[in-house]
Amino acid sequence: MKIYTRTGDAGESSLYNGERRRKDDLVFEALGDVDELNSVLGVCRHLVETVVPSDADEDEPSSSVAKQLTEIQSRLLDAGSAVATPLTSEQTAKLKRARFPAGCTEQVEAWIDALDAHLPPLTNFILPSGGAAASQLHLARTVCRRAERKVARLTHELKDVEPEVLTYVNRLSDYLFTAARVVAKVSGATEVCYKKV
């Protein structure tokens, strides 16, 4: 099978249910942002693996961040499947297959709580900082928020995406912020605080 199909050369592409839409449709914008987030997380995972010592205690929360990022990347593919299969589709089997898995948001919340327990409380706003890995996680957080805005429109305005996808992406940005702080701490880097002029 060839990588290229030429079916999108006129500026249209197919959703999972076979429906053709223009490539600048909101669904494809949301899919693009979710895909970009997934790619950014691949870079994050690599950088985290270079910062967290290979002999780190498995009970140390930072040693779990790379594994959690891998899990998140898989769930983002699930989120993309849900986005690419509008709830208004009449193809029940494809809707069922593309349904976002239950319990994913709760899993991310548990990870946030475990990571946050090892951090000093925030007393100031912090700037995206804390070394290469932490800064990249902050960048991922901003891409995540952009994806969230697109998924929110699909969820609220068009009623085409199940609300759990939106909840997951929202919680994911909180996770990325917390993970960035943990990685900065483990790497010994300093978080830069916001200072008003």
Return the structure tokens found at 21. Answer: 């839409």
Q: Is the pTM of this model over 0.95?
A: no
Q: Would the pLDDT of 59 be above 70?
A: no
Phi, psi (rounded to 5 degrees) for 131: 100, 175
Work out the number of other CB atoms within 10 angstroms of the CB of residue 64: 19
The C-alpha atoms of residue 116 and residue 148 are separated, in whole angstroms, by 23
Q: What fold characterizes domain 16-187?
A: Hypothetical Protein Ta1238; Chain: A; (1.20.1200)
Which amino acid is present at 39?
Answer: S
Q: How confident is the model at residue 53 (pLDDT cuts 50, 70, 90)?
A: low
Q: Which sequence spans correspond to the domains of the chain? A: 16-187
Mean pLDDT computed over 40-44 = 97
